[in-house]
Amino acid sequence: MKKIINKPENVVTEMLDGLAYVHSDLVHRVDGFDIIVRNEQAAGQVGLISGGGSGHEPAHAGFVGDGMLSAAIAGAVFTSPTPDQILEAIKEADQGAGVFMVVKNYSGDIMNFEMAQELAEMEGIEVASVVVDDDIAVENSLYTQGRRGVAGTIFVHKILGHAAREGKSLAEIKDLADKIVPNIHTIGLALSGATVPEVGKPGFVLAEDEIEYGIGIHGEPGYRKESMQPSRLLAEELTGKLLEAFEAKSGERYALLINGMGATPLMEQYVFANDVASILGDAGLDVAYKKLGNYMTSIDMAGLSLTLMKIEDEAWLEALESPVKTIAW
């Protein structure tokens, strides 16, 4: 294992300190906690929090700021944050209008966020949440009942963050969340596995010429391995599965996110984007919003994921396009 780290057990705390130092104009770390919060919370607005295991940077701390998250909790690498950490984030985010939690569909995350919600409600803070399960690759996985929550979560942060900034109530944000999540689907592929610093070796190993479709962001197994293919064929596989899941029809509007897994160069992501563009064009879809880059990674995994969101309401598109002040959007 070759990584630019000190002691593996100190990776998360040193990363958070480094992030808070570099981006001190936008965010700070809460003393004694693995939480990144906005420097200026918006009084009277619903607080919006998210979080999960570390290793997915820039998610989730990179999306803390005006127009997106109020706070983000970082668990240990690929490990759910604990209820006490989440509770502290709820308190930091609470500006009197309640707090909304965006939770990815992993058993540990759901259990710990729910526990924190109960503790917060005992302290008089109103809390609501949504569980994001956008990964269509496999049903039930190592850490998940149902479908996993992956890169589509970033669209949820963005749209709900806009709603919070517009002064929407907790109930209105919950209603919006329940409408947008079923309209977001993601599928990914890996060329190589990720190495957790404290483990020291990749979570899975693929042969030199092998890829795996449908992997999760913690290295969970996908649905098929095969020999490496040209970008065009990879794009046809992933795009085809998404269009099938949506039962997409010509003329429908979509938002697109191409997300790098951590070790895939932008050069390759843009080549893949070019192939996706022609496939979506052939299908007659109107791609009204596009984004590409490393948004929810898996440490040093080589690979990418493709997310489509069906735009059923013009306001969702306005929310995606609205300017924000964050590290990573």
Catalytic residues: 56, 218
Residue type, 308: L
Q: How far is the C-alpha of 216 from the C-alpha of 150, rounded, in Å?
A: 8
Provide the greatest CA pair distance for the chain.
56
Q: How far is the C-alpha of 279 from the C-alpha of 285, rounded, in Å?
A: 9
C-alpha distances out from residue 112 to 74, 104, 107, 108, 166, Å: 13, 12, 9, 6, 29
Token reading at 249: 């029809």
C-alpha distances out from residue 198 to 11, 34, 118, 201, 302, Å: 9, 18, 32, 9, 19
For the chain, give the number of residues. 329
Eight-class DSSP state of 82: P
Closest-CA residue to 87 (of 122, 53, 55, 58): 122
Residue type, 179: K
Q: How far is the C-alpha of 279 from the C-alpha of 281, rounded, in Å?
A: 5
Name all contacts of 275-279 with Cβ < 8 Å and 24+ positions apart.
Answer: 275/231, 275/232, 275/234, 275/235, 275/236, 276/235, 276/238, 276/239, 276/306, 279/235, 279/236, 279/239, 279/240
235 φ, ψ (degrees, to nearest 5): -65, -40
